[in-house]
Homo-oligomer: A and B are copies of this chain.
Amino acid sequence: MKPTIADVAQLAGVSQATVSRALRGVDSVTPTTRQKVLQAAEQLHFTLSKHASSLASGKNMRVMLLTSGKLNQWFNANVLQGIYDVLNPAGYDIAPSYIITQQDAIDFFRHLPNVGNVDAMIIASFQVDNQMRAYLQQTDIPVIGVDIPAQSYGNASIGIDNVDGMRKAVQLLRSLGHSTIGFVTDYMPADMVYSTVERAHIFEQVAQEYGLDQRHAPIISLSEYDHFTSNEQIANELVSRILGLEQRPTALCVQTDASAIAVIKALRNQGIRVPEDMSVVGFDDADIADIADLTTLRQDPYAMGVIAAKKTLDLLHGVELAHPHELLPARIILRSTTQLAKGLA
């Protein structure tokens, strides 16, 4: 049978309350009694029951991480790691959870599983719509956003400055002499909740700033009705659309590194050299970007996780956040998939 606090109390010759105090290190306990208790606990291999503690104290000592997209994705796994590294030392458990479609989200929030069993909720990479916002606002625990487009949402948030990042990307390509720049979107079902879809809108806006009209800043995407079996097929289809444009771009911004790499491969298969004939920049700087030697906009999901967790801790401890909503600057990583536009070399 697992020992309880009562067993320790008996062995140490003190009351249960004293054991509780000694073990948690709060409240004042005489060094000698503390020692007795600690010894007794050690001897019995005793550990406090989190469930009982939580029930008694009203604190769950758990925070939920809700990601859009699976936990094994580069971004999410790194956010998790960052959160873990600051929350675990503080005594908090992490309850990871994920959602993919809008329907998932609705089901999730309708049943509010766990909510009520966690002290805070960190949500990552969501495209928060009004319905979700409404649900989220119902809950009385702190909600911290990571990479949430509508940065104004929730009690706190951390993201990267996507607009600034996009400006850097477009500016780079412009200064390399590219006058027609395409934006290639990921293929994703209509009801996805990923926040990366925001990037296409931002591109449109930034392209305008840089004097590119719609014809010189085409957006290449797949209709949601199309169905493809492989990433390769998707990339091939995208490339065929790019090649079909009357005003063919000489540079491409691609929504994610993974897509960018697939597109580059498809491009090369058609004899379009990268970067000689076409410059390509990706987004994220995941591991694969380094391997593929891809110019990209760096995101640091681990750092975001760390910051989000720190904000969470502050919120939980009731400290006022000086800057609840923060944006990390974007950084462009120059590698070998971008080059001066043809004729300018």
Could you list which residues of chain A lie within 8 angstroms of chain B, going by C-beta atoms?
Answer: 2, 45, 47, 49-52, 54-55, 60, 70-74, 77-78, 80-81, 84, 88, 93-98, 111-117, 138, 261, 287-288, 291-292, 302
Partner of A117, one of B51, B70, B96: B51
A94, chain B: closest CB distance, angstroms: 6
A203, chain B: closest CB distance, angstroms: 25
A69 and B94 alpha carbons, distance in the complex (Å): 17
Q: Which residue of B lies closest to A70 (CB)?
A: B81
Q: Which residue of B lies closest to A84 (CB)?
A: B71
A115 in contact with B47 (CB, 8 Å): yes
A14, chain B: closest CB distance, angstroms: 21
A112 in contact with B55 (CB, 8 Å): no
A–B complex contacts, Cβ < 8 Å, 5 sampled = A51-B60, A72-B77, A94-B95, A261-B291, A287-B287
Contacts of A52 in B (CB 8 A): 51, 55
A73 and B77 alpha carbons, distance in the complex (Å): 8
A47 in contact with B113 (CB, 8 Å): yes
Partner of A88, one of B73, B78, B94, B97: B97
Copies in the complex: 2
Q: Which 7 A-B pairs have the closest CB atoms?
A: A77-B77, A72-B81, A51-B54, A72-B77, A51-B51, A50-B117, A47-B116
A69 and B16 alpha carbons, distance in the complex (Å): 38
A2 in contact with B116 (CB, 8 Å): yes
Taking A47-B116, A51-B54, A93-B95 as given, write out 16 further A-B residue pairs in contact, using a Cβ cutoff of 8 Å, ordered by the A residue number.
Answer: A47-B114, A49-B55, A51-B117, A55-B55, A71-B77, A71-B81, A71-B84, A72-B80, A77-B77, A80-B96, A84-B96, A88-B97, A93-B114, A261-B291, A287-B288, A291-B291
Contacts of A138 in B (CB 8 A): 45
Partner of A71, one of B80, B112, B261: B80
A72 and B93 alpha carbons, distance in the complex (Å): 17
Partner of A72, one of B78, B112, B261: B78
Partner of A49, one of B50, B98, B116, B291: B116
Contacts of A96 in B (CB 8 A): 80, 84, 94, 96
Q: Which residue of B lies closest to A47 (CB)?
A: B116
Contacts of A2 in B (CB 8 A): 116
A259, chain B: closest CB distance, angstroms: 13
Contact flag A112-B47 (CB < 8 Å), given A71-B77, A80-B96, A95-B93: yes
Contacts of A71 in B (CB 8 A): 77, 80-81, 84
A117 in contact with B72 (CB, 8 Å): no
Contacts of A84 in B (CB 8 A): 71, 96, 98
Contacts of A72 in B (CB 8 A): 74, 77-78, 80-81, 302
B49 in contact with A117 (CB, 8 Å): yes
A74 and B98 alpha carbons, distance in the complex (Å): 17
Q: Which residue of B lies closest to A290 (CB)?
A: B288
Contacts of A94 in B (CB 8 A): 95-96
